[in-house]
């Protein structure tokens, strides 16, 4: 049964009309200026996004159902430690702004396969283009659709399949206008999702304080910290049942860096927001996004911890348990929204929808960009004109979204339903390829001797080694790794395995060493490489950027020290 009233639906309808109308206004204004037919304008919004639009778009595309639902669910089970994905991302964004973006812009790189083609060769670029398409559709698009629809279904009472279809259609409306429409509508989306998220957090803390007979948000926060103290530690010890997901210091000095640097620096879906701007604007936008990342745990993690405490106090037992009697962490955030008063439920429902739709739109645009510019134009029809490419891009959006919907119907529940942690599913399966991709990118940036065959080794070999370390514990006794924290019991499967963040670290080192050996052998044989244009002056930053970066780093040190 729906927990939304007519007033809630009116609030949501207002949000829908505002976003759709603004998107149409931007789209027709762009057409009137006769810039809508160009591929760089459609796919990148070249030169038209401001720093605040870039920063907002980065966050709107990143914060989706995997955060509200997935991270909220992980917070219910693991606590504040899951915030490491958000807070470490803030530090990562500074590195990307200083070292990655200048290389892309200096070498006029607009897509990730283009970088691989320019730095290595067409074979590496084509292999990765196809692979990225599969990853974006099978893992990302499908998971965002399924987890998002699961949440909307729990709140609204509509069937999950109907919610999947609604989200797909809404996202297509935004996406077909191109990156400029996505970028500027994302500003509204970010405002709505932050406002709605803060309201949900506020009322959760109020509920906790009221139940304890001491009303007040700050009292609620104090009570939450006191009564759920085991959920307020950032670094897990080896005996923690969730250690396999967040293995101690690996979140500070290990695989978490690979996850974040690959996601924020080598990911078409994310970097695309900044690639159409000049360096100063791009850096300012990325720094703005880093500040916003510091706030995200307040919106997506605290609610999950609050629901955990409320569940312990006897609330949500019906909402959090599936029809098979399984406690489902993914229902933490949707359950919280049912507590909100009329009108505010509609606002939070709109915030959740905003997060999902913005992420879907950005992902679909990236899929269209890669297929159109890096596969179709390169391998199928090199002489295709701008108008034809833009039309193909729009068709690609429709096809990709249809495939995402189909996969959600078929395998979504098997992979992310019935008590599974959706956020950890996304991180682990993306982590099968992150180490190889990041090794290939980082050496491609800063080591001119890296060869194409070395890059192929990292791409294909990295994936194979990731699978190898995943299944190795089934065939070998790795108990000797326990003292080092590299072998842990998985609370969900009750089997020992190598924590996936540690696996990523191992595979990354193997890829770096393998690339170095292969490159040196080929260099000795006279193999030529295509180095990028890189000089130290590219990495100079303004005093304002340095000040902002130092503030962010100071806040991070304080947070980890406080909640160690």
What's the mean pLDDT in 374-384?
80
Indicate whether 277 and 358 sit together in one domain: yes
Note whether residue 374 is domain-resident: yes
What's the mean pLDDT in 28-52?
58
Note whether residue 426 is domain-resident: no
Q: Is the pTM of this model over 0.85?
A: no
Instruction: Identify the weakest region by mean pLDDT among 296-310, 384-398, 509-523.
Output: 384-398
447: left (phi over 0), alpha (psi -120 to 50) or beta: beta
Among 96-100, 195-199, 318-322, 389-393, the range with the most confident prediction by mean pLDDT is: 96-100
Instruction: Identify the weakest region by mean pLDDT among 56-65, 92-101, 225-234, 493-502.
Output: 56-65
Closest CA to 164 of 422, 418, 408: 408
Indicate whether 362 and 306 sit together in one domain: yes
Q: Is 321 helix (H, G, I), strand (E, B) or coil?
A: strand
Q: What six digits make up the tokens of 486?
A: 């590299």
Among 341-350, 415-424, 430-439, the range with the most confident prediction by mean pLDDT is: 430-439
Q: Is 489 helix (H, G, I), strand (E, B) or coil?
A: strand
| pLDDT recorded at residue 557 | 94
Indicate whether 527 and 548 sit together in one domain: no
Mean pLDDT of the chain: 80
Q: Which helix (H) or strand (E) segment is 488 a member of? A: strand 488-489
- Using CA atoms, how far apart are residues 115 and 316, in angstroms rounded to an integer? 49
- Using CA atoms, how far apart are residues 445 and 532, in angstroms rounded to an integer? 7
Q: Residue 377: which CATH number? A: 1.20.1730.10
Per-residue confidence band for 514, with pLDDT thresholds at 50, 70 and 90: very high
The residue with tokens 């190889």 is 436
| pLDDT recorded at residue 1 | 41
Instruction: Identify the weakest region by mean pLDDT among 83-92, 360-369, 413-422, 465-474.
Output: 413-422
Per-residue confidence band for 431, with pLDDT thresholds at 50, 70 and 90: confident
Indicate whether 458 and 412 sit together in one domain: no
Kindly give the residue spans of alpha helices, DSSP state H, lying in 370-433: 386-416, 422-430
Q: Is the distance from CB of 438 to CB of 508 less than 8 angstroms?
A: yes
The strand pairing partners of 497, in sequence order, are: 488
- Using CA atoms, how far apart are residues 482 and 498, in angstroms rounded to an integer? 10
Per-residue confidence band for 559, with pLDDT thresholds at 50, 70 and 90: very high
Q: Is the distance from CB of 486 to CB of 467 less than 8 angstroms?
A: no
Q: Is the distance from CB of 196 to CB of 63 less than 8 angstroms?
A: no
For 96-120, how does the pLDDT look when each residue is reduced to its tens digit (9 = 90+)? Answer: 999 988 888 888 877 777 888 888 8
What's the mean pLDDT in 531-548?
85
Percent share of the chain, pLDDT over 90? 14
Instruction: Identify the weakest region by mean pLDDT among 15-24, 78-87, 133-142, 239-248.
Output: 15-24
Indicate whether 350 and 437 sit together in one domain: no
- Using CA atoms, how far apart are residues 351 and 193, in angstroms rounded to an integer? 4
| pLDDT recorded at residue 135 | 82
For 162-183, how does the pLDDT look when each residue is reduced to its tens digit (9 = 90+)? Answer: 988 888 888 887 666 555 556 5
Q: Which helix (H) or strand (E) segment is 496 a member of? A: strand 496-497
Q: Is 327 helix (H, G, I), strand (E, B) or coil?
A: strand
Asked whether the predicted pLDDT for residue 533 surpasses 70, the reply is: yes
| pLDDT recorded at residue 36 | 46
Per-residue confidence band for 8, with pLDDT thresholds at 50, 70 and 90: confident
Indicate whether 382 and 452 sit together in one domain: no
Note whether residue 354 is domain-resident: yes
Q: What six digits make up the tokens of 522?
A: 């080929």
Contacts of 518 (CB under 8 A, 6+ apart): 451, 453, 454, 457
Indicate whether 441 and 334 sit together in one domain: no
Q: Give the number of other CB atoms < 10 A from CB of residue 385.
A: 11
Instruction: Identify the weakest region by mean pLDDT among 146-150, 166-170, 414-418, 439-443.
Output: 414-418
Per-residue confidence band for 547, with pLDDT thresholds at 50, 70 and 90: very high
Instruction: Identify the weakest region by mean pLDDT among 312-326, 379-393, 411-425, 467-481.
Output: 411-425
| pLDDT recorded at residue 176 | 62
- Using CA atoms, how far apart are residues 472 and 377, in angstroms rounded to an integer? 41
Asked whether the predicted pLDDT for residue 415 surpasses 80, the reply is: no
The residue with tokens 């060493």 is 513
- Using CA atoms, how far apart are residues 473 and 487, in angstroms rounded to an integer? 9
For 108-160, how does the pLDDT look when each residue is reduced to its tens digit (9 = 90+)? Answer: 877 777 888 888 888 888 888 888 888 888 877 888 888 788 778 877 778 88
Per-residue confidence band for 14, with pLDDT thresholds at 50, 70 and 90: confident
| pLDDT recorded at residue 553 | 94
The strand pairing partners of 496, in sequence order, are: 489
Length of the chain: 564
Closest CA to 187 of 354, 397, 11: 354
Sign of CA dihedral 519, 523, 526, 532: positive
- Using CA atoms, how far apart are residues 374 and 122, in angstroms rounded to an integer? 10
Instruction: Residue 491: give the domain boundaries.
Output: 431-533
What's the mean pLDDT in 69-98?
88
Indicate whether 174 and 73 sit together in one domain: yes
- Using CA atoms, how far apart are residues 542 and 535, in angstroms rounded to an integer? 17
- Using CA atoms, how far apart are residues 494 and 234, in angstroms rounded to an integer? 23
| pLDDT recorded at residue 185 | 62
- Tell me how many helices (H) and strands (E) the chain has: 28, 2
Q: Is the distance from CB of 143 to CB of 73 less than 8 angstroms?
A: no
DSSP structural state of residue 341: P
What's the mean pLDDT in 258-276?
77
* Number of compact structural domains in the chain: 2
| pLDDT recorded at residue 64 | 66
Contacts of 527 (CB under 8 A, 6+ apart): 451
Asked whether the predicted pLDDT for residue 212 surpasses 60, the reply is: yes
Note whether residue 2 is domain-resident: no
59: left (phi over 0), alpha (psi -120 to 50) or beta: alpha
Q: Is the distance from CB of 384 to CB of 371 less than 8 angstroms?
A: no
| pLDDT recorded at residue 31 | 63
- Using CA atoms, how far apart are residues 227 and 79, in angstroms rounded to an integer? 12
What is the SS3 string spanning 478-524?
CHHHHHHCCCEECCCCCCEECCHHHHHHHHHHHHHHHHHHHHHHHHH
Asked whether the predicted pLDDT for residue 510 surpasses 90, the reply is: yes
Sign of CA dihedral 211, 350, 168, 426: negative
Indicate whether 216 and 356 sit together in one domain: yes
- Using CA atoms, how far apart are residues 407 and 411, in angstroms rounded to an integer? 6
Indicate whether 281 and 193 sit together in one domain: yes
Note whether residue 38 is domain-resident: no
Indicate whether 445 and 551 sit together in one domain: no
Indicate whether 475 and 326 sit together in one domain: no
Per-residue confidence band for 321, with pLDDT thresholds at 50, 70 and 90: low
Asked whether the predicted pLDDT for residue 498 surpasses 80, the reply is: yes
Note whether residue 152 is domain-resident: yes
Asked whether the predicted pLDDT for residue 507 surpasses 90, the reply is: yes
> What is the crossing angle of helices 6-32 and 160-175, to 10°?
30
Note whether residue 363 is domain-resident: yes
**DSSP per-residue codes, 254-311:** SHHHHHHHHHHHS-HHHHTTTTTS-HHHHHHHHHHHHHHHHHHHHHHTHHHHHHHHHH
Closest CA to 435 of 453, 461, 470: 461
Asked whether the predicted pLDDT for residue 497 surpasses 70, the reply is: yes
Q: Each residue of 493-516: b (16+ CB within 10 Å) or e? A: eeebbbbbbbbbbbbbebbbebbb
């Amino acid at each position: 049964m729906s927990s939304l009233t007519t007033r809630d639906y009116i609030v949501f309808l207002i949000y829908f009309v505002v976003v759709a109308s603004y998107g149409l206004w931007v789209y027709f204004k762009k057409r009137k200026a006769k810039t809508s037919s160009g591929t760089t304008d459609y796919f990148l919004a070249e030169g038209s996004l401001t720093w605040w639009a870039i920063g907002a778009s980065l966050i709107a595309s990143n914060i989706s159902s995997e955060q509200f639902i997935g991270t909220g669910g992980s917070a219910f089970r693991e606590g504040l430690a899951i915030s490491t994905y958000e807070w470490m991302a803030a530090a990562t964004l500074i590195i990307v702004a200083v070292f990655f973006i200048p290389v892309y812009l200096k070498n006029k790189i607009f897509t990730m396969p283009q970088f691989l083609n320019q730095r290595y060769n067409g074979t590496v670029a084509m292999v990765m283009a196809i692979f990225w398409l599969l990853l974006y559709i099978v893992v990302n698009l499908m998971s965002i659709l399924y987890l998002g629809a699961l949440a909307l279904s729990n709140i609204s009472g509509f069937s999950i399949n109907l919610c999947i279809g609604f989200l797909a259609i809404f996202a297509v409306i935004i996406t077909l206008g191109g990156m400029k429409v996505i970028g500027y509508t994302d500003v509204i989306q970010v405002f709505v999702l932050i406002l709605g998220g803060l309201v949900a957090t506020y009322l959760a803390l109020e509920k906790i304080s009221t139940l304890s007979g001491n009303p007040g948000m700050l009292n609620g926060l104090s009570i939450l910290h006191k009564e759920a103290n085991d959920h307020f530690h950032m670094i897990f010890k080896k005996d923690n049942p969730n250690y396999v997901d967040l293995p101690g210091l690996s979140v500070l000095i290990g695989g978490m860096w690979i996850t974040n640097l690959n996601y924020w620096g080598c990911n078409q879906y994310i970097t695309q927001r900044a690639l159409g701007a000049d360096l100063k604007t791009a850096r300012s936008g990325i720094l703005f996004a880093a500040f916003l990342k510091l706030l995200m745990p307040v919106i997506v993690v605290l609610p999950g911890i609050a629901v955990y405490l409320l569940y312990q106090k006897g609330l949500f037992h019906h909402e959090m348990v599936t029809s098979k009697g399984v406690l489902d962490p993914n229902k933490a955030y949707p359950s919280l929204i049912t507590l909100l008063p009329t009108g505010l439920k509609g606002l939070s429902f709109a915030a959740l929808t905003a997060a999902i739709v913005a992420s879907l739109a950005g992902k679909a645009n990236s899929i269209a960009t890669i297929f159109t510019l890096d596969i179709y134009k390169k391998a199928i029809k090199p002489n295709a004109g701008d108008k034809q490419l833009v039309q193909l891009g729009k068709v690609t959006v429709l096809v990709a979204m249809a495939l995402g919907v189909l996969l959600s119907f078929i395998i979504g529940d098997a992979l992310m339903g019935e008590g599974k942690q959706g956020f950890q599913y996304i991180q682990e399966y993306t982590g099968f390829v992150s180490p190889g991709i990041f090794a290939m990118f980082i050496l491609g940036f800063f080591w001119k001797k890296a060869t194409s065959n070395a890059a192929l080794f990292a791409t294909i070999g990295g994936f194979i080694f990731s699978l190898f370390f995943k299944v190795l514990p089934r065939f070998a006794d790795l108990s000797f790794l326990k003292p080092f924290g590299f072998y842990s019991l998985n609370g969900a499967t009750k089997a020992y395995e190598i924590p996936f963040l540690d696996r990523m670290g191992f595979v990354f080192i193997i890829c770096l060493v393998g690339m170095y050996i292969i490159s040196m052998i080929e260099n000795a044989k006279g193999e030529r490489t295509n180095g990028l244009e890189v000089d130290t002056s590219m990495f100079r930053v303004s005093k304002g950027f340095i000040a902002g970066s130092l503030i962010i780093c100071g806040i991070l040190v304080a947070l980890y020290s406080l909640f160690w």
